[in-house]
Amino acid sequence: MLLRSALLLLVFIVAAPCCRADDGYRLWLKYDLIADSPQRAQYRAAAQFIAANGPDAVLKTAAAELQRGLQGLLGQPVPVVEQAANGSSKRGILLVVSAAANVPDAARSTEGYRIFAQGRNLVVTGRSGAGVLYGVFALLRQLQTRQPLANLAGSPRIRYRLLNHWDNPNGTVERGYAGSSIWKWAELPERLDPRYKDYARANASIGLNGVVVNNVNASARYLTPEYLQKVKALAGVFRPYGIRVYLSVLWAAPKVIGGLKTSDPLDPQVNQWWAARSEAIYQAIPDFGGFLVKANSEGEPGPQDYGRSHADGANMLAAALGQHDGIVMWRAFVYKANSNGDRFKEAYEEFKSLDGQFSPRVLVQVKNGPIDFQAREPFHPLFGAMPKTPLVLEVQITQEYLGMATHLVYLAPLFKECLDADTRVKGPGSTVAKVVDGSLDQHAISGIAGVANIGADRNWTGHPMGQANWYAFGRLAWDYTLTSAAIATEWTSMTLTTEPKAVAAIVNMMGKSRDIYVRYTTPLGLHHIMGQNIHYGPEPWLAQAGRPDWTAVYYHKADSAGLGFNRTATGSNALALYAPAVQKQWGDAKTCPLNYLLWFHHVGWKQPLSTGRTLWNELCTRYYTGADSVTWMQQQWAAVKPAVDAAVFADVAARLEIQRHEALWWRDACVLYFQTYSKLPIPAPFSPPARTLAEVKSLVDLYQLK
């Protein structure tokens, strides 16, 4: 018996280090031991102690994280001391919070950091503990990606960098594909799942400083005293990581839980109710960040129910925050209950005229595009149209319309396409990024929000590569000038492998993945042709739904003449919402980028495009080459097998195989359906789909889209 136990123990000891599969839990913060090398020796020599002086809780976090990272990466214990010992020959890292620190300050925050050599030591300094924490993560990133510990400095370009969780009290996540919610409401506040802390570490490591914990389709419950204790417990876990909590609020809360007869923002009792609730929140959570509101949108209640405007509502909530340091983020994702116009224009029409009416602590939160997180959208026309109002850019990290948790789609190129888009409102260079960071119109506050793709799955995001989208969102929120490739390279080296060829192959595949997805789903500016219930499958034939703008035919407008939504002056004229220079380029089908063509033009099937092909042939070419490219991705992935963890490799390979099937599903559904209008053959060298349109349509039931 004893012998058997000893043998078992031996097997365990021998097996453990080599065979522990990577379950993805550690994200990009693996801190695995760097192989013995001259570089590791240099790192070791430079990191013999950490000195951190001061009571700041975030500084303590920074010291602990650095210690943990160095222990793992260098395999040497690094003591944390209060001060570097005088006259010691040891070299160490000094963490210094100083109001006088010479750090960059792009977003009027105190979160910048600077890393520099001072004598034998390396100093990481910032004007706040958070600044030092971000510096520490930057330093660890240098080690993780095997870079020199040279001079480094950074500061966020955007002040409020938030994840928006669409998580519900019952543990479900709206449009979440990685299991249930990570928040265990029933266990809070007594039990703090260790995951909360790891979640905070991950967010801090990429520079995020705020978390809206609940769905914008909000339950009033979060404002009850009972839930406040739960939110307070989470805030306590996040605070040492420089992260503040925010709540989405239900507009009708004064009626639903407050016992009032109205939620009219101009009613004094309603005002008092919100002020009292807000005060109670600040009593419990002194650094509470503020409120996010979805009002008068998709059936949610709002101030318009009482004939009041969005500004009336937002300003009342801002006033309720009192003297506390909080903000209100008011969403512009609205479209009227009975609209017969073009949904593209609705948010603009409702919000543009309110510019200048919002109180200084209100930011209006605008989705990247005018419709709804489609695989490719032109930038939202509100960017640049509300110069007196700070606008939060909202992007979707969770892949509601981009393949859920089975398609490999790296989203940094999508985020950047919007940030880099030039609104031209103040001449060339008036990019969305400059609207959002406040620099174009000199706003004191600025914000960016990403709808989280995180769930209770062990690897956080379902698809292992989905982690890259969380990572990329944070990095771009911090500094939108980083390139998609640079971010992918960092993430891959920290998460999957440091083998240079494999890194290059994976980064190349990631870089192309979003365009590939667009090609096999919605090429040339098609949009909103997905399934009614599951938003990532094709249903271009959808003609009946709760409202016309929930169908697909409303958007693609296929007929015997051609395809696409005419939004020029002869159509809905949504183009008129953009600056003249943008109108000019996009308004002419000859100069409109092909990526946006069918967003703005109804184009004849036989119309030649700049590629030399007719619209029909180009459409088919994109569907076919897009679907074929998934096979290419599979080959790329197969080639890196020796360099990545076996479990992660197998998981991604299996998901790519699903993606291949579903790309063919999209391709066949769309070319066969549009062919019923074009009446043209599938062009050579492509072969017509082996299945009929009826067969593809029946897949909708198979995938339970109905």
Q: Write out the catalytic residue numbers.
A: 298, 372, 400
601 in Cβ contact with 583 (< 8 Å): no
Dihedral angle sign, alpha carbons of residues 262, 263, 267, 269:
positive
> CB 552 → ligand GCW: shortest distance, Å?
15
Q: For residues 180 and 636, which CB has a smaller minimum distance to ligand GCW in the complex?
A: 180
C-alpha 218/C-alpha 229 separation (Å) is: 18
> CB 219 → ligand GCW: shortest distance, Å?
12
Give the footprint of ligand GCW on this chain (CB under 6 A). Answer: 166, 174-175, 216-217, 294, 298, 333, 372-373, 400
29 in Cβ contact with 493 (< 8 Å): no
Residue nearest to ligand GCW (CB): 372
Helix (H/G/I), strand (E/B), else coil: 530:
strand
Closest of 55, 82, 54, 50 to residue 65, by C-alpha: 50
Closest of 370, 304, 311 to residue 342, by C-alpha: 370
> CB 662 → ligand GCW: shortest distance, Å?
19
409 in Cβ contact with 402 (< 8 Å): yes
Length of the chain: 706
Q: For residues 332 and 619, which CB has a smaller minimum distance to ligand GCW in the complex?
A: 332
C-alpha 219/C-alpha 256 separation (Å) is: 10
Q: For residues 371 and 664, which CB has a smaller minimum distance to ligand GCW in the complex?
A: 371
C-alpha 408/C-alpha 292 separation (Å) is: 30
Q: Please list the residues that pair with 367 across neighbouring strands.
A: 394
Q: For residues 31 and 333, which CB has a smaller minimum distance to ligand GCW in the complex?
A: 333
**DSSP secondary structure of 418-486:** HHH-B--BTBTT-BHHHHHTSTTTT-S--EEEEE----SSTTSSSSTTHHHHHHHHHHHHH-TTS-HHH
Q: For residues 333 and 491, which CB has a smaller minimum distance to ligand GCW in the complex?
A: 333
Sheet of 93-97, strand order: 80-81, 50-52, 93-97, 121-126, 113-118, 152-154
E-assigned strands of 34-112?
Answer: 50-52, 80-81, 93-97
End-to-end C-alpha distance for the chain, whole angstroms: 59
- Phi, psi angles (nearest 5°) of residue 131: -60, -45
Q: Please list the residues that pair with 329 across neighbouring strands.
A: 292, 363
DSSP state at residue 265: T
